[in-house]
Structure 1
Amino acid sequence: MMIFKKIVFFITILMSTIAFAQSREVLLQQISAQKDDTLKVGLYKKLHKIYIDFDYDRAYTTLQEMTALSKKLKYPKGLEEAHQLKGMWFYYTNKSDSALIYFHKELQFKSIKASKDKKAKVYNKLGLAFQQKQQFDSSFFYLNKAFSIFKESKEDVTLCAILNNLGLTVYSMGNANKSIAYFEQAYACMLEHNDQENLPSIINNLASLYAISGKKNPEAMLLKLLNNPEIKSNDNVKATVYLNLGSFYFRNNDPTHAERYFLKSDSLFQKISKTSSPEILHSLGSIAAKKGDNTKAIIYFNRVKDDFPNYNQSKLLNHDLANAYFALKQYDKAKAYYEELLTQNDIDNKAAIEKALTKAEENLNFIKKESEIKELKLEKELLQSDKVRVRIIIVFLVIALVLLLLLGFIYLRKERQKQKINQLLLEQKNQKIKEFHQKIEQRNTVILEIESKFEEYKGQEQLKTDIIDTLDIHGDGELFNYYFDDQHKGFYLSLKNIAPDLTNNDLRLCSLTKLRLSLKETANILNLSVDAVKSGRYRIKKKLNLSQEESLSDYLNKL
């Protein structure tokens, strides 16, 4: 049966790949044969939709070709559609800053301003981009604006998705109870429209929130979800609800019911994926430990450790294993797990673990000392009492010295790791700024070459504007300012405090001067002559009240 499923899966993938290749080839042939350039823009749009699921780079190249053709035809609709698709491309590729720039520009389109529903869809995209950037206040603001418009227009299908996005955003802001209200509305909306594709994720969110929230009678709410006829045949959803029921009972000190629902959930997960869930095994081990059966708990914990080496709660698992071995007085094994915890990064309860480790070592030392005491008793007649005291003191001093050395070694290793990370981050930021210098200088060189080749078009300024827009120079400038300000925080603010009359162009010239670029390099990046750069620097020195002998570069590097 498994072989048959693999064959079916392979055939499905193969057929999808063949269908993609055929569709792409057909569109490429149609684009090549199409003489009407306006219709060709629409074909580029279709080709982009095919590439976006398989090849992001080719999808973007197609958008560039669509943009260039629309500009050549002066076709506003084609330009707007290309602009909208670029914004979504940046969103899909997790470049939220660029996506936000395009979404904000999209709001200025006449067609968007004229339609409330279209404007609401842009608000929804802005909310998702801010959510991706983890700026949840801004995300909630735009999603709520979209919600208000769609609620008024009663476009329910889109409203379901926005309610779900609002629930996720509010939960990320730390308000679990408020997010429940949004998820419940999205749940009712999807039930009404029989949205089987998105319904399971909503139920999973609600089940988790019911289990962890302080709402009244979460057990009844979970069972109500479980008994919904829409999900009775969905084993994955039922397994998740059982898991959350078990978690609820476990937190409420009802290990019997918790174990019952965890076992049900585990049975369904094994049916679905032919393997147990590490979270469930971990929870069953915790229940056994709570009942005092630490041997059974260790069996569950070791199953997780052996079968799921990449378990995301490994630190908690090591802590539980150490406690279980400690309770069984197997101090060597407990000590080993406590030490493993200390070597892991970002330990949340370091103080408690170190205290437990010290206690485990004291107990282990106590056992060793008992045998030493027996030997000392045999030798007591031959040794003087002061020598015995000195020997004990030396033993304790050695133990203390070893512990101090161990802690010092751990501290030094963490400090070295921090230094390496900080150095790597600094190098990455400098590399980004360097790449922007090179990119802008290369683009400006291209512009100069194009201008020299098109001297006969000197009177056509629109041509130059189109070239600059196509190369997106201003967009690069905005991203350069973002990275520069991230590397040199407060630089622009300090300059403005000293000389409020500095313009944006002055600030840009100051940033390049601070980077100690030569006059020629600066001129190439700003697309100016060397004399214009000299004049600009002279003007800035006057605004900063610097004498002719003082170096502007040295002055800026002291800020």
Structure 2
Amino acid sequence: MTFCTKKIRLFFVLCAFVFFTKLQAQKVGSPLGGLITNIESAVTKEDNPKKKDTLELKKRLAFLKESSDKKNNILYHALLANGYSVFFDRINRKSEYYYLKSIEEAKKSNDLSLKIWTQINYSKYLYFYCQIDKLLPIVLKTMEESNQIDASEMILPAETFQFFGWIMLTVEDSSAISFLKKSMQYIQESSPESASVLNAIGNCYFKNKDFTNAMLYFDKSEAMALKIKDTIRYAKVLGDKALVYDEKGEVNTALHLLKQDIAYSQKFKNEKNEMYASILLAKILLKLNNKNEAEKILERAEEIAGTKSYYRSSLKEIIELKLLLLNGANVQKELILRRQLKQLDEYLLKTNGNAVLKRSNWLIQKKKYESETKEIRLQLEQGERIRNIGILILISTILSSGVAYTFLAKRLEAKAEKFEEYESDRLAFEEKLKNASSNMNSYAENLQSKEKQIAILEDELEEIKSSAAKHIDEEKDKLREMLSSHLMTDENWSAFKQEFIKQHSSFYNTIMENFPELKESNLKIIMLQKLNLNNYEMSNLLGVTVDAVKKSKQRLKKKLGDKYDLLFEMIDYNS
């Protein structure tokens, strides 16, 4: 490697080091490392809606609270907040306090993975209790932060991306599908989570009116649910497939699937899913003017909707359907229903009504625009940095080139003197070869001397190959020309063969008589072997590799078989 090349490489390395060090400084450091698995295990263990005893929960989590590691304390607050959420089954002050405390402490820890998880943990609570307005700013911020960390360093990445997908699906944003598909990379293939995500992707396509892909993913989710015997998921998929059949006008199929959905939900006491399926069934029955059955279905759905405050959005749908059923037939009942509807509208205006969803969607689009603008600005700044580095490299290259030119000029001058010496030696050697006596031993010595000079020339070629300068190409051509003049060309071989026959006519005749199958290429090897040249010397004279010489001998042995040993006995005997 030339001095110039080394300098340029060193300069590039230094520039790259400075540039990437600055970029790295802008990123957040590695978070939990080995603790991630422990945290995920603790979170999964406590993810059970049936555990409503908060005193028992505190005992189970005591080891986290008493730990000297602040990250365990953060986990304690977050899991305790979840416990109070299950206990109260509604928005409550205790959960709020511990959720916010866990987020605040996570921020202080400078651990981005923990910060993201505490925010997601709180966001799920808000989502479950329909606090969309309060939820969305936190989720958007968390999405932005998740781009600053590798998924392998996140706590429960599958749940994180899955949750992002649910939120975007709720507010009807197109990014939902990409988030849900991303979550599939971190989910066990045959699992309830996998069936759930496949179902959610199907719902995304359904909302986009892509019924073909919607049915494709519903079928996948159904197959998965049956495989792992997840009956509740199977029931939900049946209800979702009913929507597609209803859109296609296949009403009877839709009715059959919804009734199956309701039956499974009742059997396994999943009231939430029963309520959703009942509302969908009532809508189709109303279109068919089957008012009596629709009324019965809605009564049961309303009974379920009245049990939870976060079912009020569904309760609003039920009341609207009941008003359609009445159609002015009972003014007093209609008045009561409209009062209920007004109260629900006022409540939903602050939680997850249509107005909130539209406002949320607008907020997402605004955030996307801001993110794109920020990305463009960063790209421009990065382009400016790269331009400045390019100018420095150009200046350095010009200076280095000046030094390199002086160095190469001196080297070329020295090389020119060497070439004159080589050329003189070559001409003298050729003259010597032409005037060689008929003595074959002298001829063999000349060949061996020739091989040594070839080796010297090859070493010089290797040295010159390492140079990147274009000026050296001319030198390479000269050396190749000189090297080729020393090879055993057809013309040289013919002269060599005639001289060999003169000195070893008896050997030659015996060989030709006993081995008529030999070819000219075989004779070359045999004659050079007779002169005691080794494989390396033969390869240089013949202009081939050592391996090629070995293979030639192997082919000769294969051709002659048992006669091969006889051949070499004759060579040794006549030496």
TM-score (norm 1): 0.40
Q: Using CA pairs below 8 Å that are at least 6 residues apart, which structure has the higher relative contact order?
A: 2
